[in-house]
Each structure stands twice: as C-alpha cells, then as structure tokens.
Structure 1
Amino acid sequence: MTESFSKERSALPTFATKSGFTPHDLRDHNLALVLRYILLGQGKWSRADVAAHTGITRATVSRLVDELIHAGLVNEREPYVSSRRGRPATRLVPAAYTHYAIGIEVNPYCLVGYAVDLTGEILARDYVYQNSIVKSPAEIMRCLSRMAHGLKTQVEARESRFIGLGISVPGVLIEDSKVTSIILGWDEVDYEKILKEVHDLGPVLAGNDGAMAAYALAYPFPGVPAGPESLIYFSGNEGISGGIVIDHEIFDGQHGRASELGHLCGALEGPTCKCGSIGCLESRLGMDALLSEAQLPPDSQLKEILSSAATGSEPAKQTLEHAGRILGVFLAGIANMMDISDTVIAGHLTEIWEGIAPFVHQELVQRLLYIKPAEFKIEISEDTHGMAARGIAHRVLRELISNPARWIDDPELSFEAVVEWIYS
C-alpha cells in the first residue's frame, strides 16, 4: 500500500520550480506527505511509523504532527502494543468532524447529497426525488443549492470547517464550469454561474458521475487508495455511465472528457441513441432499451425479463443473450486496451446479472488476449446509491490533503482561494 506514494518521497513539490525551492516549500511538502501517510495508516501508525515510511527524521515528523493536531486535522489515540521495544506507541488518526466537504450527485430522477469528513464519515445526508430530465438546469441548481445549504447548516452546528462543494453529473465538463449532459438535455450549462445567482457557494468542483463513483471505489476513504489499483466501473439506469481507474487515478483523457462509456459503439445497427448515433451501449443496454427489446411495458421492473425468459418468452431470452454478449465484448475490449482485470458492475444490470452472466463469460473467454478469463474479476455491486456523491466529496477533500499548509497558515482561507492558487 505504501508504494502508492513512493514517487512522492523523492520528488520535489511541483511549485518548487516556479521560484526556487525554499525551506518553507520543504515544510509544506513534508506536511502534506505526513498527513497522507497518517490517512494511509488508518489509525495503526505512530509518529515513528510515519517517519519510517516517509524517510523524514523523527524530530521533523513529530513537529509536523503537532502542527496537524493543532490545526484539527489529526488526533492521537491510546497507545497500542507493538513489536518494538520501549514504550507503547501513540496512534495517529485523521480528526473526525473538524473539516468536511459536501458532494451532491445529480441523477435523472433524484439528487443525493452527503457531507463527509476526513475520516470518511458521512456527517449529514439528504435525498430529493425529482425528474431531473424535465426540469431546467436552473431549477435543478436551485434544488441543489438548497440541499447544500441544508447540509452545511446541519454540520456547522458542530463548528466544522467547510472545505468545498462538489457535484457529479451524468455528463462531461466541457470547459471551466460548463457541463454538457445528453441524458439531461444540457448543452454547455454554466452550473457555477447559476449557483452564484441562487446562493454564493464559492467555486464548485464538478465531475462525471460514473468517474466519481469509480473514484469512491478506488478511494473508499479520503486520501486512502485502499480499493483496487485499476478497475473498470460500469453502471447505469436510464442511461449508461462508468469510469476507468488506473493506478488509483481516474483516467479522464487529454481534455478530461473520457467518461462517456455509454456512447461507445455496441453494435453497427439498432435504435438511435439520444446522442444521435446508432448502436451506442446506452441505446442497447439502458433500462428502456432492454424492456423494449424484451417486449415488456416501459413501467415494468427489469427483473421481469428474467421471469419472462423463464416462462419461455423468446424476446426476453434474446434480450438477455444480446445484453450479455454486448457487455462481454465491451469489457474484453477495454481490458485488452487498458490491461485491467478488475471490473465492478453496478446499477440496473445487477438485476438481470444471472441471466446475462453466461453470455458475458462466453465473450470474455473468446476475446480476452493476455488476461486469462479466470483472472478477470467481476464484482456485482448492488448498493451504489450515492456512490458518486461520496466520490466527489472525497475529491474535494483531496485539495485539503494535497496541501494542508495552505489551510493551516491561513485559518480564514476559502476553497475559492485554493482553486485560484492551483490554476494560477
């Protein structure tokens, strides 16, 4: 696990090249490194352990830990008995409740909001069920703003420090704060401008919903890459979403838009997708598409495809076979191209997994090149509600974890100032 940060031990901070490397820069860099290793230790490491893992002297680590404790970022817990000689070591843990971020997930049919602290604890949560597809961006942002302020009110009663707001959307970030979402009908919507018109929440970090859910799997706790090192995340409901993680980082492409898995071509023929193309995965594997192919009413439960197939319905049987083969071809292609052997399937396809799994497996056996089918792992995750909200909240907290000195040195520092500094 510690190898994830091995490059950072010897590397100078990126800002050192701007104006020369100073002792203050070294302190800032080491402060971030110590905090990340404390998070990585998950309450098992002492100051001596952190010094051993980072290569920083014990005296320096002790001084930096004192700074982090004073800033409310780290706490000490009761000693534990270790194999070392001498006095039992005091454990270091991330501080609970003191700093938090808000993540809100915009879904076609609901908003999910979480306030998350440095321990990964959800301090407050909220759900609003609505049809986002028929609402205007301004209406959705007003609802989102009310949710964010409601969550802030709940958490700040504990005198916690607000780090920032993140939103995940079923779309891509085009430029700055503009988002395009095919399923929501958004075309370069400036969400930050709308939010400022409603309430001044400061700058907002945005991300694709599938990519942020994948990030939450890779980082189940803020700053802790404890999930799979690389994975393919494939989910959906009304549409198809997903993300690719490589070395615990989201693969987002040259322009940050590499998350539209639902609009990869799954067939050369078929219904026209909402994006205007033919054969997109979304137009073949989306819930509406599956029910239509199975000749079931649009308000049916997806599991009814399984029961219809069991009673001999040929359209239902063909739907399961087609869905399984299309998904298998897609997974094999991504695995061959990216060399990834871990996959998480979430969303509506989990409801019919038992019916499509044999066909997925057949395609993987036939098409995987260098990864043995037995080594290709597929995890079925049925409980991913709010996963993208958690992921974007963890991503906002990463701004604090990556540079705690900025927050320690300026108690009044805002997320806006950090964002301006990062992109200056």
Structure 2
Amino acid sequence: MVVDIISPYTVAVAQFDEAAERLGLSQSMRNVLRAPKRELIVNFPVRLDNGDVQMFTGYRVQHNINRGPAKGGIRFSPEVSLDEVRALAMWMTWKCAVVDIPFGGAKGGVICDPHQMSRGELERMSRRYATEISILMGPNSDIPAPDMNTNPQVMAWMMDTYSMHQGYSVPAAITGKPLAIGGSEGRLDATARGVQVVTKAAMRHLGMSPESSSVVIQGFGNVGGITARLLHEMGCKVVGLSDISGGIYNPLGIDIPTAMRFSREHGSLRGMPGTEPVTNRELLELPCDILIPAALENQLTKDNADRVQARLVVEAANGPTTNEADRILNGNGVMIVPDILANAGGVTVSYFEWVQDLQHFFWSETEINQRLETIMSRSFNAVLEKATNQETNMRMGAYLLAVSRVAEATELRGIYP
C-alpha cells in the first residue's frame, strides 16, 4: 500500500488559511501571518567518544513574535526536518494565543538519534547546538523548552551554555529545567494535566461520566503516560495503550500503575500480562469513548478516520489529524479538542516558570496546578463559545480565537519602518 506523505507545514498553512478566510483577514495580513519570521539552519561538528567528528544539522524557526518573545521546544530525532519545525512553530504561535499567554511561536530541532549517543556525546551536541542558536536565544527574545527526546537535563546544559556566554546565570532563557536551577514545580506533568482538564471539560459538555467512559491513548511517554495515570485516577477505564514497540489492549481496563511499572522494568509495554497485542494502526480503531493521540503527527488520516469509534478525540500530540481526517471525523459527529488547545498545558507552565525566574520568586505545586486549571478551563470555554457562536467545530473555534488575537497585535504594532 502506498501511503501519502503529508507535509505538516502544508496542514498548518491550510488550517490557517481557512481561519483567515472566515475572519475576513486582508491579503496583506494573511501574507504576514502565513510566513515564518526567521529560519535558522545550523551545521555543526561534535566530537564523538571514539575521537571521530560528526556533523549535525539543527534548526530554530520563529514563526511570529508580535505578542511576545518566541517560545517553543527543541526536539532531537532522526525525522526532524525544516518543514516539520516550521509547522510546529506556527502551531506554537496559535497555541500561545489560544490560552492567551504573552508569547510568540517558535520551534527547534536537531537531526540525530539520541538513543544511539552516550551521555557525553549528547551533552556536547546539546551545548554546541545551544551555542549555534544563541544568536536568537534570550529571556526577552526566544525561550526554548523540552520536546521530543529532550528533557530537564538537556535544558540544564543549554541554559548553562547560554549563561557561560553571558558571564552570569540566566535561568529565564530556558524553561523545563530541573528544580535546582530555576525549574518550576508541576512542569513535568503540565502537558498531561492540561490534557486532563480539557478532557474533563469536554466530557462534561458531552454528558459523559468518567466511570462509564473508556479511553485509548496512543503514546506512553511523558505526555501519554501521565495522561493515562491522571485519567485512571479520575475514574476512566483505560482499555488501550501504545508505545514505540506497539500497542496493548484489554476491554476490561488496564491498571495504569502496573503498566507504568512494567514499562520501566521491560523498556516497553509489549508483552504486558493480561493484555493482547495490537498494532499502533489497530489501536486507533479500537472501540472506546475517548481517543487520545499522544505520539506523532499525521496519525489520523483519510485512510482510517472512518474507522475511529471514539465520540471524543483529544489531541495531546501536535498535528495528529490531517485535514481530510478532520472533515471525516466532524462529519461523523466526533468532537475533537484540537492540539493548540489540548496540549497547551506545557507552554502554560513554561510561562509560569519564565515569570518565576524573572522575578526570582517561586510558587508551590498546588498554586501551579490551580493556575493551570484556571487557564485551561477558561480557554476551553472560550473556544467552545466561539465554535458555538460561529456554528463550527472546536478546531476552527480555536483557530478563529488565536488567529484573531495575533492579527490584532500585528495590526496594532504596524509595519516597521
């Protein structure tokens, strides 16, 4: 079977174009908001443990900074491409706007396989990449954060590298750091906790109760795993899970603490007792009430959208649904909580971390979680209201809200000089 390769940036631009059309934006404004502001490509050498020197390619794209400094994660993956980073940067612009925090959108990445690198090689590569993009970085200009295959330790190396260039510590230049060097309480769980808040709100809107709702989650990393735990604690029955090795299914429910322990001990979910194996493709089509894609882009396409059995899809991943799949799912009456709303918990707590670092005053985890719930609940209600008033779906409601906010800021600032 030939699988269509769908460009993430093509998807992102098409989503923007539809919102721009509905909002009646001028062609000039569309031209400004469609194009990334800056694209930096860096090629840099890293000395490996065996003494060889390997060249790596990295990217940092700033999509729009009219509402504040650029904000967005760094991913390490063999699949990283400029096209992907452009799309993710654009989505970050809308994501920050939809939850109304004062950031613009950015994203970065390095083409590499971090699983094949030693700790020393990973540190040298992280520091060299940070050096290469430091011409853009800064607490008032561009603030990176963790993303796929990066973590608080990588952020610590990058913050330290940037600080060495400045001659003093600049904790607010990076978010997602360890607590000991200016990180925030609640940051590790933030994206998943945001997913939980909007899932609960969507269930309430649809008249669903946690105790009678079954959930399938694609992805069992930081976001998928913690989302599974939080929904399990809420009373939902998680019937399907997957990680890079494939999926597992039990219609009677999977005990999430046991699954997390099994995954830690065996390195994957595959072979967990009391479950049957399913492929990632089969997982998306399992009978369930709620489907949460928490892995990669383009998982729900025109080829499988008609077979999705969930009433509610919550996009914990970035761009998991293609435009064709979106139309099919909406046509089938499936409610979709879009990525730019559903997974905005991470950048929201990154914003809290940045604020705390700038003022050198830190909040408790309880305060962080309360502030996060307030922002995510308020944003869900605003998107639902916009979608209802405009007689459209949640994704378009989120885009109409976000794009109008960025367009307003752009209009007010004007064009320099």
Bin the TM-score by the shorter chain: 0.3 to 0.5
- Normalised by the length of structure 1, the TM-score is 0.35
- Normalised by the length of structure 2, the TM-score is 0.35
